[in-house]
Amino acid sequence: MNKQEVLEKLEPVLDIRVRDFDHGANGRVILGNETVAIRPGRGCTYQMAEGHVSDLFQFTGVPPTLAKSLQTNTMERVLTECLRKQERYGLMLQDDQVVGITKYRERHPVDTERVVTTIERNIPDADFQNVLTLPNHVVSIDAVGVDERPVRPGDLVRAGTQVIFSPIGTELPTVQSYILRLICTNGATATDNMRTFGYGEGDNMWQWFRQSIRRAYNAIGGIVTAWQNMIGEGIDPRDRAMIIEQLIKQARLNKLEADVIRSRAIEAPPENAYDAMNLLTWATSHVVNDPVRIMRGRRVAAEYAAEAIHQRICPTCRRER
């Protein structure tokens, strides 16, 4: 993907704006036959967009099932009182309809186009591999450059970076290494996360982005060395199923995804820790479609590659200690 394709894919997220409100004495939640609206105080009333009513229940902590047992006016009072207790909150608006509610706090929206431009300027010939939209209006962008290293003969990997941020400022941005395995185009992240940007640094935000992206991209040497060491960590055939099931469990994959991994493991049994890690990263690149599970699977694979975590999962390592 190029820059324009990335921005087009993120267009639904970029169209959202956040308005903060003090919940006034006249504020209330209004329940219609098929609609839900929020009036923060005197003035405008905002209707919840279709499919986002659950955001109101989640934000207020009111179980949705309660609506079935209470009369409409009673339910309105319950939701209104729970919303009033927040005192201040932000409504996420798209086409003047509410698509989310967030707690009030100082927000620093991150300009998406500038993030993409910064990636391009700090990674040679940047190629955008994946763009994921995560909960809470957070975005993940993977990009790789031209630096390639062999983990073993015929198994090249390419250096890159993963940038996670919120265009509307709901979460702090993070940057970490992203490595693309060319032999079967599966991507993996590493656990050596760059430090999270602190808003107190003010105008240094983009300097932080530039430095962190370069650090993440240039970390490939150490990551490849760690992966090469994993090749020497053979898997006892009697432990193979146990390790695979542990990875599946930690990644919380659904039954279909888990069955695909099991089938692939039967066709090409993982012989070492590197193979086992790649089995999971292959699944996150080719089988898993849900962005949350993709990110979770990558994290589990990265943790498996980290020595301390790996020794807790691997039964062979536990026996040898």
Closest Cα to residue 295, out of 142, 170, 115? 142
The closest alpha carbon to 176, from 134, 227, 216, belongs to: 216
Q: Which residue has the tokens 């185009």?
A: 185
The percent of residues in the chain predicted with pLDDT above 90, rounded, is: 56
| 311 pLDDT more than 60 | no
Contact yes or no for 10/112 (Cβ under 8 A) = yes
Coil vs helix vs strand at 144: strand
pLDDT at residue 307, as a whole number = 61
φ, ψ at 28 (rounded to 5°):
-165, 160
Burial class (CB in 10 A: 0-12, 13-18, 19+), 165: buried
What does the pLDDT look like over 138-197, one tens digit per residue? 999 999 999 999 999 999 999 999 999 999 888 888 899 999 999 988 898 886 655 555
Is there a contact between 130 and 187 (Cβ–Cβ < 8 Å)?
Answer: yes
Q: Rounded mean pLDDT of 204-223?
A: 91
| pLDDT score of 201 more than 80 | no
**Integer Cα distance of 271 and 316 in angstroms:** 12
**62 vs 72: CA distance, rounded Å:** 14
* Residue of 156, 155, 162 whose CA lies nearest to 128: 162
Q: What is the pLDDT of the chain when averaged over all its residues?
A: 87
93 strand-pairing partners: 17, 98
d(CA 159, CA 50): 41
Q: C-alpha angle 310/312/317, rounded to 5°?
A: 75
The C-alpha atoms of residue 151 and residue 161 are separated, in whole angstroms, by 18
Element (H, E) at 283: helix 273-286
Cβ count within 10 A of residue 295: 19
- pLDDT bracket for residue 129 (50, 70, 90): very high
Question: How far out from the chain centre does Cα 92 lie?
Answer: 19
User: Measuring CA to CA, how many Å separate 29 from each of 24, 60, 146, 152, 244?
Assistant: 12, 11, 54, 61, 48
What's the CA gap between 148 and 179, in Å, rounded? 10
Domain ranges of the chain: 15-103, 109-225, 232-320
Distance CA 320, CA 317 (A): 5
240-296 per-position pLDDT tens digit: 999 999 999 999 999 999 999 999 999 999 999 999 999 999 999 999 999 999 999
What is the reported pTM? Answer: 0.80
Bridge partners for 98 per DSSP: 48, 93
Each as own residue / partner, the long-range contacts of residues 313-316 (CB below 8 Å, 24 or more positions apart, any chain) are 313/243, 313/246, 313/247, 313/250, 314/233, 314/235, 314/239, 314/243, 314/273, 315/236, 315/239, 315/242, 315/243, 316/233, 316/234, 316/235, 316/236, 316/239
Percent of the chain with pLDDT strictly greater than 70: 90
